[in-house]
Amino acid sequence: MVNRSFKPLLSRARLPNLRFHELRHTCATIMDRTGVEPKYAHHRLGHADISVTLNTYTHILPEARAEVARKIEEALL
């Protein structure tokens, strides 16, 4: 399925060559960024332990880092 469907789709969409599994990380990060409760995300991804979802699958995006820095700056002013 990966070589027959997924890789050609990436190519047609002019996306970088990704591993199919990386879609799970993307899904977890999107759910985190859009406010989906971690409990629901961990069930959706099928992880036995919520810490796997939070510590392995969700990633802090550059925009989130900038937002945190802005909030700290506002608090100090």
What are the residue ranges spanned by the domains of the chain?
Answer: 22-76
At 44 the pLDDT is: 94
At 39 the pLDDT is: 94
Q: In the chain, which residues have pLDDT < 50?
A: none
Q: Contact at 8 Å (CB) between 12 and 25? A: no
- Contact residues for 53 (Cβ-Cβ < 8 A; gap 6+): 28, 38, 41, 42, 45, 47
At 61 the pLDDT is: 84
